[in-house]
Amino acid sequence: MSQALILGASGLVGLHTTKYLLADNSFDKIYAVSRHGIPIQHERLIQIKADFDTIDSPIRDLQIDHLFSCLGSTKSKTPNKEDYKKVDHDYPIKVARILKENGLHSASIVSALGANKDSMTFYMRLKAMTEQSFEELGLDQLFIMQPSLIVGNRKEKRLAEKFASILFNIINPLLLGDYKKYRSIKGSVIARALVETTKLDGKGIFRFNTQEIKELT
């Protein structure tokens, strides 16, 4: 029996990923992890309501084939850098390590274009740290999505992202050739690409920028 787990299932990308997985039929069971649950009911879907402090027990004995990490916070939601790190790095790595003890061999994670441990931006350094920690797990397959600005209908209001989305709608057509990777991308497109990674062959670490993510779908 093949099983998948989505971490951050209530977010923009995570919720779309859950829907696509349920429609895809590649996995017999899908575990959706979020703090308060998601508005979806399905015979193949099992919801886990948990956070960093309570996740250990419900996943301790799960044998997951593929992990989807769609967690991500914002500076406005978590202004404290340690709390930010706990959400974006510590939580997904904690889950991945527990699942790996039970045989996890493949994962797809959402990072960011420009992730770099030497970046002047805390956000980009944190994304690079998360990528590196996942790499160090030694999974057979690791798919890293590195999108530019992610757009879509979110539950919470993000004023800065709204303005950025409007701006990108104007400049996206001007970003041609190698600059296509800087175009904004819908969360639903990233989600579909995440599902498609489960059908890719080969072992190793694979990175996809915005344009390459779109080409997966």
Report which of residues 22 and 182 the model is more confident about.
Answer: 22
The pLDDT value recorded for residue 160 is 55
Distance CA 127, CA 125 (A): 5
User: Where do the DSSP E strands lie in 18-162?
Assistant: 29-34, 45-49, 66-69, 106-110, 141-146, 150-151
Tell me how many domains the chain contains.
1
Q: What are 139-191's pLDDT values in tens digits?
A: 999 999 999 988 877 665 555 556 555 555 656 665 667 767 767 899 999 99
The pLDDT value recorded for residue 209 is 95
The pLDDT value recorded for residue 82 is 87
Q: What are 54-72's pLDDT values in tens digits?
A: 999 999 999 999 999 999 7
Distance CA 103, CA 61 (A): 10
Tokens of 204: 């190793």
What pTM was estimated for this model as a whole?
0.90
The pLDDT value recorded for residue 166 is 56
Average pLDDT for the chain: 89
The pLDDT value recorded for residue 84 is 85
Q: What mean pLDDT is predicted for residues 21-29?
A: 95
Q: What mean pLDDT is predicted for residues 107-130?
A: 94
Please determine, for residue 213, whether its predicted confidence score (pLDDT) is greater than 90.
yes
Question: For residue 77, what pLDDT band results from cuts at 50, 70 and 90?
Answer: low
The pLDDT value recorded for residue 177 is 74
DSSP 92-114: HHHHHHHHHHTT--EEEEE--TT
Domain hosting residue 62, numbered range? 3-216
The pLDDT value recorded for residue 72 is 76
Report which of residues 6 and 166 the model is more confident about.
Answer: 6
126: domain CATH number is 3.40.50.720
Distance CA 155, CA 165 (A): 16
Q: Are 32 and 63 in contact (CB under 8 A)?
A: no
Cβ neighbours for 158, distance < 8 A, ≥ 6 positions apart: 74, 76
Q: What mean pLDDT is predicted for residues 124-131?
A: 96
